[in-house]
Amino acid sequence: MIDWTNAPNWAQYHAYDAGGTGGWYQNKPTLGEHGFWIASGYKWPSGHLSKITGRVWYATLEERPKEKVSA
């Protein structure tokens, strides 16, 4: 799980690439070739690093949690 408290306001997704480097994404990225995500809109390195490398990098896509609304 990613700590979203320091995520840019525009970031709606976070994912790691095959090398373990994390990135914020404005729009939902799709799997690209050679271990990278492809997305339109803003994207920026998150500074998060992971030891997740190789074949499982594609399972790291995480959507920003929805804010809970109090009644």
Q: Which helix (H) or strand (E) holds 16?
A: strand 13-16
Order across the sheet with 62-63: list the strands: 43-49, 21-25, 13-16, 62-63
Its sign, for the CA torsion 39, 36, 16, 56, is: positive
pLDDT at residue 53 in the model: 55
* CA distances to 7, 22, 34, 40, 48 from 51, in Å: 21, 11, 18, 26, 10
Residue 55 clears pLDDT 70, i.e. is over it: no
Domain positions in the chain: 10-63
Q: What is the pTM of this model?
A: 0.79
Confidence of residue 68 (pLDDT cuts 50, 70, 90): low
- Each residue's pLDDT tens digit, 19-36: 888 899 999 998 887 778
**Residue range 40-52: mean pLDDT, rounded:** 76
